[in-house]
C-alpha cells in the first residue's frame, strides 16, 4: 500500500500576515516542482494569516494546501473568540490540526473534545490532522504505547472507515517538541507502527491507508532518515517550518 507523504508546517503563534506572505513568496522561490509533486504540502498559519497565505498560494498557482491549527466544534453561535469549521472551509482551508499537545496541555483539551472536533471537521469537509504523543515521564516509565493507543482510540472514536482512511495522525512525542531532541527514526517508526496496529484493530480494512506523520524537532538534517522509515508518512514541523529555506528542504526530502 503506497501512501502519499504529507509534509505540514505548524507555525503555532508566529508570523503576522505580512510575514506570512513573505514566507510563501520565498518558499516558492526555493522549492522545486518535484518537492511539491511527491507529497501533499500543507501550511498551517495562525487564523489571522489564513486568507493571506491562501491568496498568495492561489495567485502563484502553488500546489500547497492551507490548514488551521485548531477549530471549535460548533458551526456558529455565541462562542466568543472561537473559529468554526464553516469559516475555515469558506477560506479554502483543507486541513485542521486537532489535539496538538500544546492545546491539550495549555487549553485543557481532552480526547473527548478532540473527538467532537474531529467529527466537526469531517462534517465541514476538512481533513483532521490529529496529534498524539507521550510525555518524557510516560516514556521513561514505559507507558509510550499505552498512552498513544488510548489517545488514538478515544480521539478517533465512532468514525466511519471512510473517515478514518482520510484522517492524518501526527505522532509527536512531547519531549521532542521544540527541544532539539528528535526521537530516533527507529523509535518513531516503532511507535507509529503501534498506532497503525491499534487503528487496524478497530478499522482493519482501511488502517493501511491512514497517513501517520512524525513531529518533534524535524529539520533538514534528520528528515531524510525519518522519511525512509516504512510507516512514517510525513512530518508535522514546528520551528524549522518558520524558515522558508528549511521548510523547502524538508518537503524536498530525499
Residue placing its CB nearer to ligand 13P in the complex, 42 or 206: 42
Q: Is 218 among the residues that bind ligand 13P (CB under 6 A)? A: yes
Task: Mark whether 172 is an active-site residue.
Answer: yes
Taking every pair of C-alpha atoms in the chain, what is the biggest distance, in angstroms? Answer: 50
Binding mask 85-114 for ligand 13P (x = CB under 6 A): ---------------x--------------
Residue placing its CB nearer to ligand 13P in the complex, 65 or 177: 177
Please give the size of the binding site for ligand 13P, defined by CB under 6 A: 14
Cα–Cα distance between 55 and 131 in angstroms, integer? 27
From 109, 138, 149, 172, the catalytic residue: 172
Cα–Cα distance between 210 and 187 in angstroms, integer? 19
Secondary structure (3-state) at 40: strand
The interface region with ligand 13P, picked from 19-27, 115-123, 150-158, 170-178 by CB under 6 A, is 170-178
Residue 131 φ then ψ, to 5° = -95, 140
Task: Mark whether 100 is an active-site residue.
Answer: yes
Residue 211 φ then ψ, to 5° = -90, 130
From 73, 100, 102, 149, the catalytic residue: 100
CA 24 to chain centroid = 18
**Angle 143-127-75 from CA coordinates, rounded to 5°:** 105
Please give the positions annotated as active site.
Answer: 100, 172
User: Which residues are at the interface with ligand 13P (CB under 6 A)?
Assistant: 10, 100, 172, 177-178, 215-218, 236-240
Amino acid at each position: 500500500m503506497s501512501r502519499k507523504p504529507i509534509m505540514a508546517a505548524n507555525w503555532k503563534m508566529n508570523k503576522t500576515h505580512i510575514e506570512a506572505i513573505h514566507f510563501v513568496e520565498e518558499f516558492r522561490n526555493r522549492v522545486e516542482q518535484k518537492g511539491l509533486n511527491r507529497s501533499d504540502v500543507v501550511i498551517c498559519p495562525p487564523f489571522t494569516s489564513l486568507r493571506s497565505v491562501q491568496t498568495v498560494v492561489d495567485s502563484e498557482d502553488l500546489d500547497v494546501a492551507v490548514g488551521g491549527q485548531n477549530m471549535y466544534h460548533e458551526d456558529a453561535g455565541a462562542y466568543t473568540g472561537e473559529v468554526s469549521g464553516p469559516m475555515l472551509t469558506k477560506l479554502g482551508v483543507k486541513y485542521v490540526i486537532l489535539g496538538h499537545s500544546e492545546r491539550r496541555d495549555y487549553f485543557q483539551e481532552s480526547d473527548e473534545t478532540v473527538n467532537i472536533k474531529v467529527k466537526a471537521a469531517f462534517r465541514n469537509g476538512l481533513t483532521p490532522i490529529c496529534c498524539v504523543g507521550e510525555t518524557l515521564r510516560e516514556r521513561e516509565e514505559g507507558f509510550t504505547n499505552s498512552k498513544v493507543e488510548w489517545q488514538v482510540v478515544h480521539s478517533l472514536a465512532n468514525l466511519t472507515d471512510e473517515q478514518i482512511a482520510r484522517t492524518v495522525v501526527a505522532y509527536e512525542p512531547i519531549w521532542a517538541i521544540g527541544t532539539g531532541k528528535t526521537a530516533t527514526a527507529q523509535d518513531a517508526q516503532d511507535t507509529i507502527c503501534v498506532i497503525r496496529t491499534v487503528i487496524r484493530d478497530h478499522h482493519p480494512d482501511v488502517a493501511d491507508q491512514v497517513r501517520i506523520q512524525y513531529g518533534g524537532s524535524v529539520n533538514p538534517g534528520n528528515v531524510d532518515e525519518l522519511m525512509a522509515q516504512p510507516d512514517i508518512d510525513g512530518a508535522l514541523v514546528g520551528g524549522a517550518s518558520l524558515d522558508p529555506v528549511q521548510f523547502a528542504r524538508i518537503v524536498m526530502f530525499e
